[in-house]
Structure 1
């Protein structure tokens, strides 16, 4: 139907969008303080970018991407996540030629064909950061500290940071061998997806959401059991930096994340009270991704936080901001000449930085005042024939109900004064 939105999408309406703007303002501020600069990439990319970057064996690539052929018969995909696009932009625009590391952030819509549920839609929005060019474990701690700092500024101080190390190409063959040895006797009991993962990427079995696979993998070897000395030392230093910052964390040796590009540090941030999908964000290190996308060997790390899930967490805790973006002043006019004067005054108010509006329906005085009340304005400025003849306006405080006459020429000055001086 033309009057219904597609399943898994949402209209963000006035009254709700102000919550998004509040969060976005917090994002811009914290990114500036941490030295991250904004990047804006296309909402669609060549499909191969995500196949190579995200991993062809992931659920995202296998089942969730919105992919189509364009009129040039090219395979195009709506971006399901932001990291691959940031990597492509880093390479295409030769950001590697400038000072390193490069610290970027983005805010925007992503698309995955998934079963809609609370806080998870088919078109959803993410705030993400990416750091290219540093292997240092301190940058791992920084991005996690930044994410937790951001949540703290929103009042979400009861979230849990779960961390793990998924190793590197030197560790992975050991992990793969031990997992295959463990799952071989129960291979027939795994879900069809995990039976396919057994040969391609058995580590992904640990990430399966099937209750049966979760039970069968309960005693499976973990990545931490198989870390090489370098990865073990890196992970120890990451933990030490977090401890130095006083950031509590949970060691979760079953945390593998859902994308193939992760190496070494992986983390998720949990809010258990928002439903079955308790993660409100996560990320990790991806030291091989830029090379896999055709660039030089370059380390990288980042995270993405779901804005819908952040808002849900805020609402569940009663922390959602009570913010509005309506007018502060409403100009009430009576008569044709007053309407022209009111229209001119409206422009002056707006140029002075005062949010203002007026009636465009030809309503009566009573109806205009009632409408102004519904808008929630703080003040009304009333102009009629009598006021025009006397070169005054009536300024009414809608909260107290008090009103007074003031010279028309002083209305801007009066509205700009602190409330205590009015």
Structure 2
């Protein structure tokens, strides 16, 4: 049996990087008072059709959708924002003008051609702030994304921003873009030509050199903004300057999903070729209304974890924390004696290895040394007969025998030295 194409196992040697990303994200976001939320990976198909937009590649080509035994059309979530919007409405999280600051990390699913940094089951770290449309929050969420990426030692990252304005202004620009692109319809392939009529914004995100050439003199969306939207975008830029975030205004940046308005942004790198976007997001003040709830202002972003790992793994050295205690029991019949000791080690969070191979003491010590254990507990026939434990400090070449009861009194000392050596807490 093999795993499904585009859906990979995360093996033990990789898991420590995933855990590190989770830990660093938690530190940054918890400090900013964001709380973790976990939504189901299955939602009603209609949720994504109403939020993402009918003319997007996700809806038309990429969703995993099936009928369940109750004949309901269910979809494996292709992104995280729609499910959280649904949870906000369902659980009345923003009633009484409360602000909800949420984050998540979990698997998403899209049926597309697997490639480096993009799989059919991929993982997304995301942030969502509901209940305010203040431009300061737009700047703050961009700063939080950059802080996480910096803490993970991401190299060569750059912030790009733009504004789509209101829904009305976005529609005006969409018409202008269609008029401009229609002159080049015969120069495009069939799929791109079709997008001119259905979703011209998708062409702004194209990697095609030919389309880039055509778009060189296309109208800019910022030219369609009215005074209120322009002032808002200016405020976002001022706040970014105040908190020291360098950025570039990218007039072709629109994001691919229909629910965006006003601020949109991406954090890019030049180290991953065409898969250059590490983080993308923006404001979606009308999303909750689109899916049947009341209008609740919102802004957020998503980071693709697989792509992030490609960027950081070479600069992120995460050595395996060595075991603290190696438990050596030459006679396997006495394994129960070692098992009782592990309860004390658990209490002090001391990483241990309980060897049940039944090999000689000499072989046990060789194994303990190879695994860089700090101490080896020797539980031979004599120790067990007298209810003792012999403690061998591997680096000091020192060995002391304790009664089983008094052994517990030295565990704080062992814990302190182990934590100090390995900088864990």
TM-score category (smaller protein) = over 0.9
- Say which SS state the counterpart of residue 357 (structure 2) adopts: coil
For residue 84 of structure 2, what is the aligned residue in structure 1?
A: 86
For residue 66 of structure 1, what is the aligned residue in structure 2?
A: 64
Q: Deviations over 1:232-256 (max 9, x none)?
A: 1111000000001011111111111
Counterparts of 1:313 and 1:396 in 2: how far apart (Å)? 42
| 1:10-409 matched pairs, under 5 angstroms | 10-156=8-154, 158-316=156-314, 318-324=315-321, 327-336=323-332, 338-373=334-369, 375-389=371-385, 392-398=388-394, 400=395, 402-408=397-403, 409=405
Counterparts of 1:369 and 1:97 in 2: how far apart (Å)? 63
* Counterparts in 2 of 1:414 and 1:81: CA distance versus 1, 3 Å: same
Q: CA deviation at 1:219?
A: 1.9
- Whether the aligned pair in 2 keeps the contact of 1:349 and 1:412 (CA below 8 Å) is no
- Whether the aligned pair in 1 keeps the contact of 2:163 and 2:263 (CA below 8 Å) is yes
TM-score, normalised with respect to structure 1:
0.92
- Whether the aligned pair in 1 keeps the contact of 2:332 and 2:357 (CA below 8 Å) is no
Counterparts of 1:374 and 1:123 in 2: how far apart (Å)? 37
* Counterparts in 2 of 1:252 and 1:389: CA distance versus 1, 3 Å: same
Q: CA deviation at 1:416?
A: 2.3
Counterparts of 1:119 and 1:208 in 2: how far apart (Å)? 18
- Whether the aligned pair in 2 keeps the contact of 1:120 and 1:308 (CA below 8 Å) is yes
* Counterparts in 2 of 1:55 and 1:412: CA distance versus 1, 3 Å: same
* Counterparts in 2 of 1:275 and 1:394: CA distance versus 1, 3 Å: farther
- Say which SS state the counterpart of residue 71 (structure 1) adopts: coil
- Whether the aligned pair in 2 keeps the contact of 1:27 and 1:150 (CA below 8 Å) is yes
Gaps of 5+ in 2: none
Counterparts of 1:56 and 1:355 in 2: how far apart (Å)? 52
- Say which SS state the counterpart of residue 175 (structure 2) adopts: helix
- Say which SS state the counterpart of residue 127 (structure 2) adopts: strand
- Say which SS state the counterpart of residue 271 (structure 2) adopts: helix
- Say which SS state the counterpart of residue 162 (structure 1) adopts: strand
Q: CA deviation at 1:371?
A: 4.1
Q: Deviations over 1:96-141 (max 9, x none)?
A: 2144221111111111112222222111111111111211100100
* Counterparts in 2 of 1:72 and 1:232: CA distance versus 1, 3 Å: same
Q: Deviations over 1:309-352 (max 9, x none)?
A: 22221113x2242244x642121012256433222112222233
* Counterparts in 2 of 1:94 and 1:402: CA distance versus 1, 3 Å: same
